Structure 1
Amino acid sequence: MLLAACSGGEAEQKKGGRGPSGPPQVGFVVVQPTAVPMTTELSGRVAAFQTSEVRPQVAGIVRRRLFSEGSIVRQGQTLYQIDPSLYQAEVAEAQANLSSARASAQAAQVRANRYRPLAKMEAVSEQEYTDAAAQARQAQAAVAQNDAQLRTAQINLRFTRVPAPITGRIGRSLITEGALVTTNQAEPLAVIQRLDPVYVDIQQSSAQLLALRRALARGGAAPATANVRLILEDGSDYGQTGTVEFAEVMVNENTGTVTMRARFPNPQGLLLPGMFVRAAFTQAIDTQAFLVPQAGLSRDPRGNATVYVVGPGNRAIARTVIAERTQGPYWVVTQGLAPGDRVIVQGTANLRPDIAVRPVPASAPQRVEPPKPGDKAGGGGKAGAGAAKGG
């Protein structure tokens, strides 16, 4: 009798500790369409804002190099000095030819002026005056020709001092002093690059661009200002934003991508030509997307995204949605939900389709009912009474 009384008390105690049974409590959020930026992260390469190859415009021996490799050079600054001896002689020759042509022109003009009144007096024939006037004009033309040759010789002499075409940072010198340079040589003397600002060439697949344009055409997305931020090779953020300058109007046949060019300030020279970066920017704003907390979305073995919503009669309904990207702690759902849907985000561990649930707003405090009178205490009393009776 004592054992029976004790066992009955323990069973009653366990029954009282379990509490009232009922549907599981779940937390939900009410979703509404909102404007979500369509952020894209693409690979890119840094390119110099300006690039100029320093090339000789006259042939000769390089006598001096007048810059430090890797330094900043200014437009018009002399970089190389080519031996000017030959070109100085050509200038002197052109000056002498010009002086001779001017003397001949002066004599021819004086002769034509003398023949003019004599031709009117018929002291000389009209033909003689015509020939004299023609010789004077030919002499003036010779003066102009020799003057042009002098200017050409002076220009060639000036080209013996090779200037910097642009302002920028110059690389290493590709020739040395004493080398022979020509106007048609394949190798430049040096390369100058302007690195502030810089360009970043971004590659986007034509399929992504087509999807974006279709979204804009449907009206479900709105264009956004194309401000770009950079992620460097070490994973750090560049810190300064750039703007998209333009996009190519053709697709690369080899890669199937479209090139977009963004412009970035580079005051510290951190970005170098050829550097690999990641460009993150917003191309459009999706005006009909839903933001669902990541805890409320799961994926099946096929990778399909699924959420549970509170349906009629407070039953959990599984719904397949389209969620291709995240934004912070949320999944961006573009299809499968309707405004006002109650998406379950808490208590999803044991959910199954079409089971009854007790929905409460997400993060609401859970109600814990106190034990009813006689559950635990009563069970204990009965056990004590049985024990006493047995005693």
Structure 2
Amino acid sequence: MRFVTRSLMGLMLMSLTFALLALAGNSIFSAYQAKSENSFGNRQARERVFTVEVMEVTLGPQTPEIQTFGEVISGRTLELRAAATGELVQISDNFREGGIVKQGEILFQTDPANAQSRVLISQNELAEAEADLADARRNLTLAQDEITAAENQLALRKKAMERQNQLRSRGVGTDTAMETAELATSSAEQSLLAKRLSLANAQATIARAETLVARRKISLDEASRLLADTTVKAEFDGVLSGVTAVLGRLVSANERLGNLIDPTALEIAFRVSSEEFRALASADLEAAEIQMSLDENTVFTGQIDRVSAAVGEGKTGRELFAKVKNASSLNIQPGDFISVSVLEPALQNVAKIPAAAASTDGGVLIVGEGDRLEEASVEILRSSGNSLIVRADDIVGRQLVLARAPQLGEGIRVSPRAQGSAKIEAQKMIKLDDARRDKILTALRNNKRLPEAVRDRLLKQFEKDEVPANVVERVESRMAAVANGTADETVEITEDQRKAMIAFVQANDRMPAEIKTTVLERLKENRIPKQMYDRISKRMGS
């Protein structure tokens, strides 16, 4: 009897053990099945699709454009300097900053008294030298007359001597008379020599007098020039700048008193890179059109005139100078900072793409089959501002990605969007009345379960006049759940579930930043609201 009882007890214990094992296995299987259905740990990852802006590549004529900045300079400037030392005794009414003067107009004059005195002295000295020259010429005439008289006297003496010689040869004359005639002839010859010496002295005196007259004329010309230098006149029509002259001021020689600028001879100096200059030079430098603008309302054109001979210390590229057409009517002045656009001759059968669409070696991304990216290459011909002019014969008609983002590459699936299409819409803002705002602020202050950083951010947001509509809707739905007693229901999540949810929320680009921050803060806790759990699980499953 005892054996049967013990056998029944063992059989019952064994049955109970098998039942407990079956229950434990069923629990494990149910937990595994629930985990698989919720797709937290073994959920198959979805392929991420990036939205990109694209454009269709088309070929046609494109005009390369070099955009730079330049400065207005004067191509014709005259420095006005005082040539003579002295006091400023006369200043033109137009001799002031910005004054407009005409050619030949007297600008200023220094005291001419000393220069006038020198002119008078030089004139007197010249008159004296001219009088001496006239006296020397009269003496020359007298000397020539005396020589003529001496020559006549010598001729008479010679005739008298010949007559005495004839008388003596006939035995009528005496030796004494002959000697007297010879002495008279010799005396006449000596007198002629003396007169010739006087003539030579008179000629030398005339030469010296003429030299002195020439020197006096030079002195007079110099004195007249010094007198003229006391008066400064405008060499051409222009505008004055840098004027420092004041009536009665003492100025020194070569002191600058202002500048005269020709408003019709303005130029533009601008600098381009060496590569851009080579591109211009390879085409036609003078044929390039220059468009310049001081502001939106002042646009004018010009033409490249010359290139700087040297690069300049501490500078790069090339400095170009452009002539301005109708400069006087453009209301520009030297020193103005302007923008410059250099238009080269048009290139044929090329495409214009954004600079962000290509790498430095010409690599681009195009949309291929199945909206997957493919690598392609283009030949970069010119850089024009934020655009590139390229030769793209191999990708004509294809969709080109406008920006090479770091996350994009060959084989990535994308969602193409036309250039300039609408992006994420702006948040809708609503204005709360005082009673509604106070109710929400009170609820937020009393909610001790919110993280402090989230609560402070929401409080600051609701203290403003306008609040995002989605934030108001979320907070008021939470307040309604609290009022109905359903807000306190929470769900405990595992570490794997938390990581999966955090990764899903961080990858959601459509979620507003403040909502994303709030959700991530709640996901750091061990238990989260059931509504949040159900909402995230549903979206992850979809």
| Alignment TM-score, normalising by the size of structure 1 | 0.67
Q: Of the candidates 273, 281, 285, which is equivalent to residue 342 of structure 2?
A: 281
Equivalent residues in 2 for 1:356-375 (5 A)?
none
Q: Which residue of 1 aligns with 2:322?
A: 262
Q: How does 1:304-383 map to 2 (within 5 A)?
A: 306-308=364-366, 317-322=374-379, 325=383, 332-335=388-391, 337-338=392-393, 341-344=396-399
1:277-299 superposed Cα distances (whole Å, 9 cap, x missing partner): 1110124443463345x6xx846
> Which of 89, 93, 118 is 1:90 aligned to?
118
Deviation at 1:355, TM superposition (A): 10
Contact kept, 8 Å, 2:367 with 2:400, in 1: the verdict is: no
Which among 224, 229, 252 is matched to residue 182 of structure 1?
A: 252
Partner of 2:82: helix, strand, or coil? coil
Aligned-residue CA RMSD in angstroms? 3.9
Q: Residues 95 and 282 (structure 1 numbering): CA distance in 2 closer, same or farther, change over 3 Å?
A: same
Separation (CA, whole Å) in 1 of partners of 2:280 and 2:241: 41
Give the whole-Å Cα distance in 2 for the aligned partners of 1:344 and 1:161.
75
Match of 1:75 in 2: 103
Q: How does 1:40-59 map to 2 (within 5 A)?
A: 40-59=66-85
What does residue 374 of structure 1 align with?
A: none
| Residue identity in the other structure for 1:228 | I
- Number of residue equivalences: 313
Partner of 1:151: helix, strand, or coil? Answer: helix
Once the two structures are aligned, what percentage of the paired residues are identical? 20
| C-alpha spacing 1:273/1:30, structure 2 compared with 1 (3 Å) | closer
Does 2:292 match 1:230? yes
Asked if the contact 2:64/2:383 (under 8 Å) is kept, the reply is no
Q: Deviations over 1:327-353 (max 9, x none)?
A: 99xx54425x3268332269x9xx996
Q: Distance in 2 between matches of 1:190 and 1:102?
A: 43
What residue identity is the alignment partner of 1:78? I
Q: Deviations over 1:17-75 (max 9, x none)?
A: xxxxxxxxxx995744x442221011211112321111112222111222232220112
Q: Deviations over 1:308-330 (max 9, x none)?
A: 2779xx997431335564699xx
Q: Which residue matches 1:290?
A: 351
Residue pair 1:115, 1:124 contacting (<8 A) in 2 also: no
Equivalent residue of 2:299, what SS?
Answer: coil
Per the TM alignment, residue 161 of structure 1 is displaced from its structure 2 partner at its CA by 2.0
Secondary structure of 2:298 counterpart? coil
For residues 283 and 352 of structure 1, the distance between their equivalents in structure 2, rounded to whole angstroms, comes to: 35
Quick check: 1:195–1:269 contact (8 Å CA) kept in 2? no
Cα 1:197–1:236 shift into 2, 3 Å: farther
Q: 1:200/1:28 Cα in 2 relative to 1: closer, same or farther (>3 Å)?
A: closer
Does the 8 Å contact 1:52/1:166 carry over to 2?
no
Instruction: Give the match for residue 3 of structure 1.
Output: none
The higher radius of gyration belongs to 2
Q: Is the 8 A contact 1:196 1:269 kept in 2?
A: no
Extract unaligned runs of 5+ from structure 2: 1-53, 152-188, 414-542
Q: Is the 8 A contact 1:225 1:282 kept in 2?
A: no
Distance 1:114 1:147 in 2: 28
| Bigger proportion of residues as strand | 1
Helix, strand or coil for the counterpart of 1:144?
Answer: helix
For 2:458, the equivalent position in structure 1 comes to: none
Contact preservation (8 Å) 1:54, 1:165: no
Q: Tell me how far apart the structure 2 counterparts of residues 157 and 318 of structure 1 sit (CA, whole Å).
A: 82
Q: Which residue of structure 1 aligns with residue 241 of structure 2? A: 171
Match of 2:343, as an amino acid? T
Deviation at 1:241, TM superposition (A): 0.8
Instruction: Name the one with the larger helix percent.
Output: 2
Instruction: Read off the aligned partner of 2:245 and give its amino acid letter.
Output: I
Using the alignment, how far apart are the partners of 2:239 and 2:89 within structure 1? 23
Partners of 2:228 and 2:285 lie apart in 1 by 53
Q: Report SS of the residue matched to 1:188.
A: strand
Amino acid at match of 2:351: F
- 2:232 paired residue among 150, 153, 162: 162
Matches of 1:222 and 1:158, distance apart in 2? 49
